[in-house]
Amino acid sequence: MFSALAPYGWDEDWADAFAPHTADGLLPGRVIRVDRGQCDIVTVGGTVRADTEFVVPRDPMKVVCTGDWVAVDPGGDPRYVRACLPRRTAFVRSTSSKRSEGQILAANVDHAVIAVSLAVELDLGRVERFLALAWESGAQPVVVLTKADLVPDPVTLAHLVQDVETSAPGVPVLTVSALHGEGLDVLVALVGSGTSVLLGQSGAGKSTLANALVGTDVMDVQAARDVDGKGRHTTTTRNLLALPSGGVLIDTPGLRGVGLYDAGSGVGQVFSEIEQLAERCRFHDCAHETEPGCAVRSAVDGGELPVRRLESYRKLVRENQWIVAKTDARLRSEIKKDWKRKGAEGRAAMQAKRGRR
């Protein structure tokens, strides 16, 4: 049953997760696009459109997103998502620095493909930031350096790859040119199983890669704009595509910035070599600044650890602590508000009772 959804990633575990909803006459489906409060869901009965909000409206974490498996009412009008199956993974960033809310960019993703353009100067700090969120999501990250045709000198290219590798321990770093079809075979093999999401700045070449992987121009690509990450975004919605040779791909709109969102363990994974060194510091709460017996500082002094890495690590750790503290404070005040509201309701109910007497 529902095996027609297999190209979209349906498997026995999803079937088990969905089973309780069968009795209600609901259909399983995967969200393939989200757009202004509505989403497109692929089901055995074709693609249906539904409202995205379910269970707790206005909580951004409780809004369905591309990649979610949901239970929909096939006949409902207006049709809405009745339940969202528990997510295996979720790529979450904080929406803006002012309001520390999480925004889910993609759900149920196995590979987080971070596209980085070689047409502009490498920003390793940004790569590390994307990687922290990718690790935190539960997906396996991979960095794809795009537009390799624009770096014709192999020595220069090798150095760039090495710089990224140093910033991405445990993460494969690929170079591709969608223009010349180079390096795509490795990527094709990688995205051939499970669900992959393409992430990165606007103009990084995500949709061009998506088209190359699908084999036809399914996604719009805009003629070259001079500066990456600036100007109009070509892709404006997150789109899920079933690849012809297996695997599922999500193309996303370019992100100008990604704020960390409770990504402490993700940061730790991006900077695993620093965390390993830190275990050898004399003080277990060493801040790697002026403490004696600091293994991290001595690695920097010995040239084994680039100082840029340490600074980037510090920056992301601080940012994450700040966002976590802020989120906690917000949660606490919301809980308090809720108690106050309930208290007021309780008092009103008591008064009404007394009034009736």
Ligand X SMILES: Nc1nc2c(ncn2[C@@H]2O[C@H](COP(=O)(O)OP(=O)(O)OP(=O)(O)O)[C@@H](O)[C@H]2O)c(=O)[nH]1
Structure tokens at 227: 């500066």
Q: How far is the CB of 344 from Zn ion (least distance, A)?
A: 51
Q: Residue 281 touches which of Mg ion, ligand X, Zn ion, none (CB < 5 to 8 A by kind)?
A: Zn ion
Q: How many residues bind Zn ion (CB under 5 A)?
A: 5
If binding is defined by CB under 5 A, does position 5 make contact with Zn ion? no
DSSP letter at 217?
-
- How far apart CA 89 and CA 320 sit, in angstroms, is 20
If binding is defined by CB under 5 A, does position 235 make contact with Mg ion? yes
If binding is defined by CB under 5 A, does position 234 make contact with Mg ion? yes
Give whichever of 50 and 119 is closer to Mg ion, judged by the CB atom.
119
For 49-62, b/e burial (b = at least 16 CB within 10 A) is ebbbbbeeeeeeee
- How far apart CA 357 and CA 354 sit, in angstroms, is 5
| Binding positions for ligand X, rule: CB under 6 A | 146-147, 149-150, 177-179, 202-208, 221-224, 233-235, 253-254
Q: Residue 146 touches which of ligand X, Zn ion, Mg ion, none (CB < 5 to 8 A by kind)?
A: ligand X
Give whichever of 61 and 221 is closer to ligand X, judged by the CB atom.
221
Provide CB contacts within 8 A for 344, sequence distance 6+: none
Inter-helix orientation angle 124-137/154-166, to 10°: 50
If binding is defined by CB under 5 A, does position 239 make contact with Mg ion? no
Interactions with Zn ion, residue window 280-319 (CB under 5 A)? 281, 286, 288, 294, 296
Residue nearest to ligand X (CB): 254
Reference 120, options 140, 147, 102; nearest CA is 147
Q: How far is the CB of 254 from ligand X (least distance, A)?
A: 3
Amino acid in the structure at residue 288:
H
- How far apart CA 82 and CA 79 sit, in angstroms, is 9
Q: Under the rule (CB under 5 A), what is the footprint of Zn ion?
A: 281, 286, 288, 294, 296
Q: Under the rule (CB under 5 A), what is the footprint of Mg ion?
A: 206-207, 234-235
